[in-house]
Amino acid sequence: MSHHIVEVRNLRHVYPDGTVALRDVSFRITHGESVAIIGANGAGKSTLLLHLNGFLTPTAGEIRIGDYPLTKATLPEIRRTVGMVFQDPDDQLFMPTVYDDVAFGPLNLGLSGTDVEQRVKDALEKVGAGHLQEKPPYNLSGGEKKRVAIATVLSMSPDILVMDEPTDGLDPHARRQLMALLREFSHTRIFTSHDLDMVLELCSRVIILHEGEVRGDGPPLEIFRNDELLARCRLEKPLSMQGCPVCGGKVS
Ligand SMILES: Nc1ncnc2c1ncn2[C@@H]1O[C@H](COP(=O)(O)OP(=O)(O)OP(=O)(O)O)[C@@H](O)[C@H]1O
Q: Is the CB of 92 under 6 A from ligand 1?
A: no
Q: Looking at ligand 1, which residue's alpha carbon is closest to its atom 12?
A: 21
∠ CA 157-158-160, rounded to 5°: 145
Q: Is the CB of 152 under 6 A from ligand 1?
A: no
pLDDT digits (tens, 9 = 90+) for 3-25: 679 999 999 999 999 999 999 99
Q: Looking at ligand 1, which residue's alpha carbon is closest to its atom 16?
A: 44
Beta-carbon count within 10 A of 155 CB? 27
Amino acid at 167: T
Residue whose CB lies within 8 A of the most ligand 1 atoms, among 12, 15, 164, 236, for a mutation test: 15
Residue 103: closest CA among 134, 79, 81: 134
Q: Looking at ligand 1, which residue's alpha carbon is closest to its atom 25?
A: 41
Q: Is the CB of 20 under 6 A from ligand 1?
A: no
pLDDT digits (tens, 9 = 90+) for 125-155: 988 899 999 999 999 998 899 999 999 999 9
Q: Is the CB of 47 under 6 A from ligand 1?
A: yes
- pLDDT value at 224 more than 60: yes
Number of the ligand 1 atom closest to the C-alpha atom of 209:
21
All structural domains of the chain, each given as residue ranges with its CATH number in brackets, are: 2-241 (3.40.50.300)
Q: Is the CB of 18 under 6 A from ligand 1?
A: no
Mean pLDDT, to the nearest integer, of 158-186?
Answer: 88
Chain centre distance of CA 102: 18
Q: Are residues 164 and 45 in contact, defined by beta-carbon separation less than 8 angstroms?
A: yes
ipTM (interface pTM): 0.99
Q: How far is the CA of 55 from the centre of ligand 1 (A)?
A: 14
pLDDT digits (tens, 9 = 90+) for 46-62: 999 999 989 999 999 99
